[in-house]
Structure 1
Amino acid sequence: MAKKMQRRRRQKRTRSQRGELPFSLVDRFLREEFHSSRLSSSALSFLTSVLEYLTSNILELAGEVAQTTGRKRIAPEDVRLVVQNNEQLRQLFKPGGTSVNEDDN
Structure 2
Amino acid sequence: MSGRGKKLVAAPKSKSSSVSRSTRAELQFPVGRVARLLRKGNYAPRIGSGASVYLTAVIEYLCAEVLELAGDACRDNKKLRITPRHIQLAVRKDEELNALLGGVTISEGGVLPKIQAQLLPKKTKAPRDPPTPKTSSPRTSEADSARALD
TM-score (norm 2): 0.48
Change (3 A) 1:78 1:45: same
Of structures 1 and 2, the one scoring higher in RCO (CA 8 A, sep 6+) is: 1
Of Structure 1 and Structure 2, the greater helix share is in 1
* 1:83-102 map, 5 Å: 83-95=91-103
Separation in 1 of the partners of 2:27 and 2:53? Answer: 15
Partner in structure 1 of residue 78 of structure 2? 70
2:65 match: 57
Task: Give the number of equivalent residue pairs.
Answer: 83
Q: Contact 2:28–2:60 (CA<8 Å) still a contact in 1?
A: yes
**Following the alignment from structure 1 to structure 2, what is the Cα–Cα distance between the partners of residues 13 and 51?**
21
Q: What is the correspondence of 1:1-105 to structure 2 with a 5 Å cutoff?
A: 13=7, 20-95=28-103
Q: Using the alignment, how far apart are the partners of 1:73 and 1:19 within structure 2?
A: 24
Mark the runs of 5 or more structure 1 residues left unpaired by the alignment.
Answer: 1-11, 97-105
Percentage identity across paired residues of the two chains: 34
Which runs of 4 or more aligned residues in structure 1 lie more than 6 Å from their structure 2 counterparts after TM superposition? none
